[in-house]
Amino acid sequence: MRSASSLLALIVALAAGPALAAKPVKIAPSPPAAEAAPAPTDDGKPRPKTGISAILGTLDWGASHADVLVQIRARIDERYNKLLEEVRDPLEIDRALRRKATEFAGIEKTYLRFSGTRTGYESSLIAQDFVTDSEESVLRVDDRDAQKYYFFKSDRLWKVVVAYNTSISKSVPFAEFVRQVQQKYDTPAAVEHDTAPGGAKAIRTAIWRDELTELAIEDRTEFYGSFVMKFLDRNVGVALEAERADKRSQARMAPSDDPLVSSSLAEITAGGDDLRDDGDDSVVDRLTGVTHDVDLSRGRPEYDMPDRGPVASPTYPDAPAASKKGKKGKKADKAASGKGGTKPAEASKPAEPFIIY
CA 65, distance to chain mean position in Å, is: 17
Spatial strand order in the sheet of 112-113: 112-113, 136-142, 146-153, 156-164, 227-233, 213-219, 201-209, 190-195
Sequence spans of domains, the chain? 51-252, 256-302, 310-357
CA dihedral (233, 239, 240, 243) in degrees, to 10, reads 160
Over residues 319-345, the mean pLDDT reads 45
Look at residue 250 in the predicted model and tell me its pLDDT.
Answer: 82
Contacts of 192 (CB under 8 A, 6+ apart): 203, 204, 205, 206, 207
CA angle 136, 138, 141 (to 5 degrees): 170
Look at residue 18 in the predicted model and tell me its pLDDT.
Answer: 46
For 188-233, the pLDDT digits (tens) are 999 998 877 777 788 889 999 999 999 999 999 988 899 999 999 9
Question: In the chain, what percentage of residues exceed pLDDT 90?
Answer: 48
Task: State the SS3 of the chain.
Answer: CHHHHHHHHHHHHHHHHHHHHCCCCCCCCCCCCCCCCCCCCCCCCCCCCCHHHHHHCCCCCCCCHHHHHHHHHHHHHHHHHHHCCCCCCHHHHHHHHHHHHHHHHHHHHCCEECCCCCCCHHHCCCHHHCCCCCCEEEEEEECCCEEEEEEEECCEEEEEEEEECHHHHHHCCHHHHHHHHHHHHCCCCEEEEEECCCCCEEEEEEEEECCCEEEEEEECHHHHCCEEEEEEECCCHHHHHHHHHHHHHHHHHCCCCCHHHHHHHHHHHCCCCHHHHHCCCHHHHHHHCCCCCCCCCCCCCHHHCCCCCCCCCCCCCCCCCCCCCCHHHHHHHHHHHCCCCCCCCCCCCCCCCCCCC
Q: How confident is the model at residue 9 (pLDDT cuts 50, 70, 90)?
A: low
For 97-133, the pLDDT digits (tens) are 999 999 999 999 999 999 989 999 999 999 999 999 9
Q: How confident is the model at residue 261 (pLDDT cuts 50, 70, 90)?
A: low
Q: Is the sign of the CA dihedral 300, 304, 305, 307 positive or negative? A: positive
**Whether the Cβ atoms of residue 192 and residue 205 lie closer than 8 Å to each other:** yes
Partners of 229 in the β-ladder: 162, 217
Contacts of 15 (CB under 8 A, 6+ apart): none
Q: Is the pLDDT reported for residue 265 higher than 70?
A: no
**Whether the Cβ atoms of residue 177 and residue 316 lie closer than 8 Å to each other:** no
Q: Is the pLDDT reported for residue 139 higher than 70?
A: yes
Name residue 193's amino acid: H
Contacts of 296 (CB under 8 A, 6+ apart): 279, 280, 281, 283, 284
Rg (CA), the chain: 32
- 291 vs 69, more confident: 69
Look at residue 307 in the predicted model and tell me its pLDDT.
Answer: 34
- 53 vs 202, more confident: 53
Look at residue 114 in the predicted model and tell me its pLDDT.
Answer: 96
Look at residue 210 in the predicted model and tell me its pLDDT.
Answer: 96
Q: Is the pLDDT reported for residue 350 higher than 50?
A: no
Through-space distance between the first and last CA atoms of the chain, rounded to whole angstroms: 92
